Amino acid sequence: MKQNLSKLGTALFSQENRLKTFYILAFAPFPLLTYFYLSWPFSLAIPMYSFILLIIKKDKLFSQRQANSIQKPLGILSMVASFFVYYLVAPTFPSAAFYGGVNYAVYILGLFLWFFDIHALREAFSPIFLIVATTSSQIISDALEPFFSPYLPYVTSVFLGILRSIGMRVTTDASNPKILVLHTSQGALSTLFVWACVGFASLFTFTIILVIILSEVPASLKTKTLWSIIGIVGTIFVNIIRVVTIFLAHYFYGYEVGGWIHYLIGYVLFIAWITIFLYAFSKRQAISTRLKLFHSNT
């Protein structure tokens, strides 16, 4: 039995199979993640993007030395411990899934410790930071809410002007300036504008993704600054579209359809926007690289 296990280990971690073994193990938790986020599948987007980052880093990772005999058990222990992170998180955050983004971050950390020399953790920083930072966006949003809630009436006034400019009959409630009253053909519909409507969580998540992307890409400070501004302004604009779309759904189709749109539209628009942004940025980088090669050859 011991001999068979030794042969299996040698086969899995041989030079030609080590790459495949690493990525198979990195992807292995996704069925568990999928199970716990089945009712909220968009939550899988960030862990999946982190896995893609690991694939992008393939050449850098496998130029690293293998972990030493002391480090490997620590890595395996971290991977096993990732399945029990829930019991540390649940007392503070009861809504946490048994196996969520933080679990996956601990798992990836353990996988790095098992496979690579400690210096390879530099390459692990981006995917782990991305997962941890984005999964904490709601916590940070909740912490900021008491400080920014007093300014919500001003935000409500902005959307009041936008909705009126596109022909909707809208007023604010006399008793609460954060309530928009939609005067529809079926009667008045009151909608409370709360902190979650502002879209801070999506802006924070996009900013984290932006930091990771720009830290990984060899571009000038001017280019990074310009694309950061484009990304953040674009995210704010997408949030405005999201809120206006929800109000339009309420106005023309009622609360039932509006609620369904409310549930989906933020994730759909956010994923669409980040896909467009990443495609545009990658095209820009590809063109810039070709131009540099052309000038260096002439």
Each domain of the chain, given as residue ranges in start order, spans 1-135, 140-298
Compute the distance between CA of residue 257 and CA of residue 264 in angstroms, rounded to an integer.
11
Which residues of the chain fall short of a pLDDT of 50?
A: 2, 4-5, 7-9, 11-12
179 class by beta-carbon count within 10 Å (0-12 exposed, 13-18 middle, 19+ buried): middle
* pLDDT computed for residue 65 by the predictor: 81
The predicted pLDDT at position 11 comes to 47
CB proximity list for 131: less than 8 A, separation 6 or greater: 46, 47, 50, 101, 102, 104, 105, 108
Res 41: pLDDT: 63
Nearest-angstrom CA–CA distance, 54 and 32: 19
Cα angle for residues 107, 113, 115 (degrees, 5° grid)? 100
| Cα 77 to Cα 69, 112, 116, 176, distances in angstroms | 13, 12, 15, 54
Burial of 298 (0-12, 13-18, 19+ CB in 10 A): exposed
The torsion region of residue 220 among left (phi > 0), alpha (psi -120 to 50) and beta comes to beta
Element (H, E) at 236: helix 221-297
Check residue 219 and give its pLDDT: 75
Q: What is the pLDDT of residue 296?
A: 67
Closest C-alpha among 79, 76, 72 to residue 118:
72
pLDDT score of 4: 45
Q: What is the pLDDT of residues 241-274, one digit of tens each?
A: 999 998 888 888 887 777 788 777 887 888 888 8
Euclidean distance between CA atoms 110 and 140, whole angstroms: 26
